[in-house]
Amino acid sequence: MLGESELRDLVIICKAALVGGQDSLSDLFSLLGYLTQEDKRQFWQWLKTNDELLVTRLKRAKQRLEANPPQPQPQSWYSDRLKRARGM
């Protein structure tokens, strides 16, 4: 069972992910996937009671994410730099 502070933390994380890009949304829904079914139900009920607009925005974001899943990112610049430094 989630406490009031955990619920508020999740709301802050959700709002931050909505400002970010597709990767942020993907990370958010991945994080929410780690909650137990009871905790998910509690979170969505609490959210519907306290911030209906955020519920709507999250539903739309989930639909967008499902319609256009994020593409795998190319290797990072740091990885490329290490390969060059090692002569690979």
CA–centroid distance for 35 within its chain: 13
Question: What residue spans define the domains of the chain?
Answer: 4-86
How many other C-beta atoms lie within 10 A of the C-beta of residue 58? 21
- Nearest CA to 66 out of 26, 33, 17 is that of 26
Q: In the prediction, which pLDDT does 70 show?
A: 75
Q: In the prediction, which pLDDT does 84 show?
A: 79
Handedness of CA 45, 47, 50, 54 (dihedral sign): negative
Q: In the prediction, which pLDDT does 72 show?
A: 67
Alpha-carbon span 88 to 36, nearest angstrom: 44
Concatenate the DSSP letters of all residues of 31-45 into one string: HHHTS-HHHHHHHHH
pLDDT in tens, the chain (88 residues): 899 999 999 999 999 999 988 888 989 999 999 999 999 999 999 999 999 999 999 999 999 999 988 776 666 766 777 777 777 6
